[in-house]
Every structure is written in C-alpha cells, then in structure tokens.
Copies of this chain bind each other. A is one copy, B any other.
C-alpha cells in the first residue's frame, strides 16, 4: 500500500522489497511496460501478489521508485565537471542524464507515464525526482544563477523527457538536441 513500510523496515522486509524492485526491473526489461503487472513482478520475485501490494501500491509506484533509483545510482557515479563555462557544464549534465536514460529506455518511458499518476506514493517520488533535476542544474549553473534560467532549463528538460517518453525521439537524440537547446537558453544569460 504505502511505499516501503513505515519506520525502520527489518532485514526480512528490506530483502523482500529489494527482490521486488529487482524483479520489477528485470520484468520491465524483458516484457516491457504494457505486459508488466504487479502480479507478474510478484511471481518473478517469488512472493505472493498480496505481499507485493504491501510494498508497492501500483505499477506507477514501481516505475517511479525504479526511476529514482536509476537516477541516484547514476548521480553517485558522477565525476567532477571538467568544464569551466556554465553552458558546457549544463550540457554535461543533460548528456549524462540522457546517456543514463538511454541504457534503460523502457524504464524511462514507463516512468514518464507513471509520474503523472495521482497516488500519494507517486506524488512523493515525483517531488524527489523533480528536486533531483533542479539540483543538478543548479550546481552546474553555479551559485549566482538566475532562477528563471534554472526554471527554463528544468522546463525544457521535462519537455524533452516527455517527448522522448512518447517516442517522438530516442533518448540519444534527446541528448544531442538538448546541447543546442541549452546553448540557446544560456546565450545572453551568462
């Protein structure tokens, strides 16, 4: 029902939750967004559907959780910026994110839909994910960044994510196009 159960999950619960998420990621890779159901994920994780539902409130919740994990895993591997101008640093951020998404297109596409969902677990994760994007752009822009520029970058990036999620472009193309878009936004705004 409500995310990973409240307050200090014990070892057994953590283990079950991890198995479910791992199974979800595999299932997504193997059968795709449409065919995946919580029940098939539960089956793959060797757990009953009822149990799965105590950890995951919905397919949307699963996708959102996997997406956030993918994002933060990639962030952890992030190395320092090797560019000195803001434009290049921001381009590096978008490149890294799109490259990372390109490795799991089914996840990215699934999450794009999932994050529009209305249940509370999705809502919570959506805010975390949004904050993650903003934070990266903020760091890349440097401390004295114009907040409107920051917002513009975030909106353009969300828009690109949306278009890629709808299949209008691949995540790789998205990376390429965003280079030019970032340049346009930062031109005349330091």
Contacts and interface: CB of A to CB of B under 8 A. Distances in A.
Interface of A: 34, 112-113, 115-116, 118, 126, 130, 146, 148-149, 151-152, 154-160, 162-163, 165-166, 168, 177, 180-181, 183-185, 187-189
User: How many copies are assembled?
Assistant: 2
A130 to B, nearest CB: 7
A187 B130 CA distance: 26
16 contacts: A34-B118, A116-B165, A126-B166, A130-B168, A155-B156, A155-B157, A155-B160, A155-B163, A155-B181, A156-B156, A156-B159, A158-B163, A159-B162, A162-B162, A187-B187, A187-B189
A156 B115 CA distance: 18
Chain A interface, >50% SS class: helix
Contact of A148 (B152, B158, B163, B181): B181
B189 A184 contact: yes
A165 B159 CA distance: 12
A159 B154 contact: yes
A130 B130 CA distance: 24
Given A159-B159, A187-B188, 12 more contacts: A34-B118, A116-B166, A130-B168, A148-B181, A151-B177, A152-B156, A154-B159, A155-B159, A155-B163, A156-B156, A157-B159, A162-B162
A161 to B, nearest CB: 8
A38 B109 CA distance: 26
Closest 6 CB pairs of A and B: A188-B188, A155-B159, A158-B159, A159-B159, A187-B188, A155-B156
